[in-house]
Amino acid sequence: MKKITFAFILAITFSQAKAQTPDSVRIFLDSALNILQHNSIYTDKVNWKIVRDSTYLLAKDAKNYNDTRSALQFAFNSLGDKHGWLVLDDQEYRNPNFKPDTSRISDNIKYVASKGPKLYNGIIDNKFAYISIPFFGGQTAEAMANFAQRIQDSLCKNVTTETKGFIIDLRLNAGGNMFPMYAGISNIYGDGLVSETKDNKGNTTGKSSIKGNGILINDSIFTALKNNCGDFSKYPVAVLIGPVTGSAGECLAAGLHARSNTILIGEVTAGYTTGNLGFLLPGTNNGIVIGVDVLRDKTGKEYLENVKPDVEIIGDDFFGQANDKKIQAAVKWLNEKMQ
């Protein structure tokens, strides 16, 4: 009887909280909660009855949109979304439980990253072509095509008749636009599906594939190379990853991992593998950006949290490759593949 009475009182409290809230504010809250519940990739992890009731209770005295800030932050935090954010009155808010863990990043990688995004390339052990692919944020067709070709040209300048394999270094790749990155090494992937994304209902929301010299998005050519230096889809590839590797860099790593004759070496990535989508809220400069789909490689494996290495190696010496443990592990594996 006490439990029934308590539940009845609680229900009255929530009802009063909603009744006391101005209509415009209640509509604002309803809009935000509906966006979170119906679109978030994490929706099944949330008890929406409790979250909704608690959100209305926290906002019971709200007289305007800005007064709902703490209530909406509570609802947003309930998702456990590391990649998304809220914007209220042009002020950005992210879940404080997911602050970037910079302690995992070595001083060596911090130093190299401070030099800005650069393509590094070379030949290692006289027979392995090496390329480091950095962050790239360009969005225009020209910028994407140029970056893709730069990747390919940087790779090709180190390909010789003695080349037996490849080392693709993603330790400095914090993300950006993954499509020109895919296109830039399309002749290493080979033709076929690279990755896809699925929403919270299991529906396919996007597909990335390689065809010829370019990347196809949902069967339409998005970025293509003008030229390449051969088909390397059968060659062994070692991919280096670490705590800076994030978002597009993680997509690149996951796509490569599903490729045959490929290994991931290094450390667990940053953990931004969900695909984000932005939604506007009523008012001015209000909105929500949340993870709405999850990355899957061509084998169907999901990457909801991060990308993990096959061989964990801690430590870096980016410009001293003879002492770089990740590079040396890659060389060891590639040499073994030649036997």
- Beta-bridge mates of residue 85: 289
**What are the tokens at 58?**
């926290």
Residue 8's pLDDT band, with cuts at 50, 70 and 90, is very low
- Cα separation, 152 vs 185, whole angstroms: 6
* Phi, psi angles (nearest 5°) of residue 25: -70, -40
CA distances to 121, 229, 288 from 156, rounded to whole Å, are: 10, 6, 42
Residue burial 112-136, b: 16+ Cβ < 10 Å; e: rest:
bbeeeeebbbebbbeebbbbbbbbb
To the nearest 10 degrees (0 to 180), the angle between helices 48-58 and 2-20 is 50
| 108 within 8 A of 317, measured Cβ to Cβ | yes
**pLDDT for residue 13:** 46
The pLDDT value given to residue 331: 98
In eight-state DSSP terms, residue 225 is: -
**pLDDT at res. 221:** 81
Tokens, residue 68? 């709902």
3-state secondary structure of 92: strand
3-state secondary structure of 94: coil
Q: Is the pLDDT of residue 6 over 50?
A: no
Q: What is the mean pLDDT of residues 208-233?
A: 90
pLDDT reported for residue 21: 63
The percentage of the chain sitting over the pLDDT mark of 70, rounded to a whole number, equals 94
**Residue labelled with tokens 């003879």:** 322
Q: Residue 338 contacts by C-beta under 8 Å, 6 or more apart in sequence?
A: 164, 165, 236
Q: What pLDDT does 100 receive?
A: 78
Which SS3 state, helix, strand or coil, does residue 297 take?
strand
Sign of the CA dihedral 171, 195, 206, 221?
A: positive
Residue-averaged pLDDT of the chain: 92
Whether residue 14 has pLDDT greater than 70: no
pLDDT at position 262 over 50: yes
Indicate the pLDDT class of residue 11, thresholds 50, 70 and 90. Answer: very low
Q: Identify the three-state secondary structure at position 280.
A: strand
SS3 content of the chain, % helix, strand, coil (to 5): 40, 25, 35
pLDDT mean over 119-129: 97
3-class secondary structure, 145 = helix
In the CATH scheme, what is the code of domain 102-338? 3.90.226.10
Span 165-182, mean pLDDT? 96
Tell me the per-residue pLDDT of 75-105, one tens digit each, with 9 for 90 and over: 999 999 999 999 999 899 999 998 878 899 9
- What are the pLDDT digits (tens) for 37-66? 999 999 999 999 999 999 999 999 999 999
Give the span between the Cα atoms of 40 and 201, in whole angstroms.
10
Q: Which of 116, 68, 115 is nearest to 93 (CA)?
A: 68
Give the pLDDT of residue 10.
43
pLDDT for the residue numbered 110: 96
What does the angle CA 307 – CA 308 – CA 311 come to, to the nearest 5 degrees?
145
* Amino acid at site 137: G
Q: Which of 258, 286, 292 is nearest to 273 (CA)?
A: 292
Q: What is the pLDDT of residues 275-293, one digit of tens each?
A: 999 999 999 899 999 999 9
- Predicted model pTM: 0.87
> What average pLDDT score do residues 306-316 get?
97
